[in-house]
Amino acid sequence: MYTFLPVPCHDYIFFIYNRYQIISVNMEMRGANMGKVKNKPGFIIYVLPVLVFVTMVVYIPFIMSMCYSFTEWNGISRAAKFIGLENFRLLFTEDGGFKDSAIFTLKFSVLFIVTINTLAVFLAVMLDKKLKTSGILRAGFFVPYILSMVIVGFIWRFIFIQGFETMGNLTNLGFFSWSWLGDAKLAFWSVLFVSIWQSVGFYIVIYIAGLQSIPVQLIEAAIIDGAGTVVRFFRVTIPLIMPSVTTCVFLALTNSIKIFDVIISLTNGGPGGSTTSITYDIYKEAFQNNSYGYGTAKALVLFVAILLITLVQVTFFKKKEVEM
């Protein structure tokens, strides 16, 4: 859980560094004797508060959580009992609930990554065309992303339960009478649908930015060479927006593995634990069962899994990128 907190802080450090470079270059152009930016103590003064903050609230708690994963601790007693690798043995040999949540998370992640990226690319291509309503449509797709996922979950919970019941009474369509949150299979698709509905606008923006960065000359050259719409899309457009694809797949991967808030607000892990993700299982273990040592062991395993998967994913997609 702690592993996802440093990302904005790191981005902020890089932002400060870039801003400091710009300021230094401008002062050099004005005749100031600044020397090399990387040797300036001013950069250290800029970054030091952020580094101290990140260390205090991220890295130290993360190291402590790693230590607690080797203990038995209920979160109340002062002393935690060291039990070595017992938590990990239980996790991989006896914890069936964790295995079920891992299967759910894996299935959800694969479908989420494929569906949201395919849908976002298609909608981005449509919205990138010069239409009178493109601006309104872009805003319409992005508005759900502004809302909190918890709020979105409660809104759709009301729609699935009461809204669909009302529509079923008015239209007599069996589709609305299905138990979308009470049936295990339908609950899975409900969680997937709500997650995509809330997030797709964000991915559309990234893909539109990638599409608008493609030089018009390349598209015109492809048209002159006789390439059709489909050929241009797969042979020209897709290779040139691979940096956007890399970013979106990475974000979709991490967000799908971390899925928590939509589950707690929409299904609460039910019915019968069928929509329990790994993060929700960790939450229940630590904060409901008061087994903090075992919960941190699960979190550590999740961290290692995400680290390995993202490294493979980013490395693979980086090789597919084309320089313009």
Cα radius of gyration (the chain):
24
- To the nearest 10°, report the CA torsion of 93, 94, 96, 101: -60
Please, what is the average pLDDT of the chain? 84
pLDDT for the residue numbered 20: 47
**In this structure, what is the dihedral angle of CA atoms 131, 133, 139, 144, given to the nearest 10 degrees?**
-110
pLDDT digits (tens, 9 = 90+) for 102-153: 999 999 999 999 999 999 999 999 998 877 788 888 888 899 999 999 999 9
Position 136 scores a pLDDT of 87
**For position 177, what pLDDT does the model report?**
86
d(C-alpha 286, C-alpha 58), whole Å: 19
pLDDT band per the 50, 70, 90 thresholds, residue 169:
confident
pLDDT tens digit string along 256-298? Answer: 998 999 999 999 998 988 999 999 999 999 898 889 999 999 9
* CA–CA dist 224, 116 (Å, integer): 33
Judge contact between 55 and 280, C-beta under 8 A.
no
Report the run of H or E that residue 72 belongs to, with start and end.
strand 71-72
**Tokens of residue 103, six digits:** 């299967």
Question: Where do we find the tokens 């009178």?
Answer: 132
Q: Enter the tokens of residue 123.
A: 């909608």
Between residues 318 and 85, the one the model is more confident about: 85
In sequence order, the β-bridge partners of residue 72 are 81
Q: pLDDT confidence of 11, banded at 50, 70, 90?
A: very low
323 pLDDT exceeds 80? Answer: no
User: Distance between CA atoms of 87 and 214, rounded to whole angstroms?
Assistant: 51
Instruction: Supply the pLDDT for residue 39.
Output: 55
The residue-averaged pLDDT of 90-97 equals 90
- Helical H segments across the chain, by residue range: 6-29, 41-54, 60-68, 86-93, 96-127, 134-146, 149-158, 164-171, 174-177, 184-212, 216-224, 229-232, 238-240, 242-257, 261-266, 278-283, 292-320
Q: How far apart are CA 318 and CA 242, in angstroms?
A: 8
Q: Measure Cα distances from 240 to 127, 207, 229, 246, 249 in Å.
A: 18, 11, 15, 11, 15
Chain segment 219-266, per-residue pLDDT in tens = 889 888 888 888 898 888 998 999 999 999 999 999 999 899 999 999
Is residue 90 predicted with pLDDT exceeding 60?
Answer: yes
**Burial group, residue 271, by CB count within 10 angstroms (0-12, 13-18, 19+):** middle
Phi and psi, residue 72, nearest 5°:
-110, 110
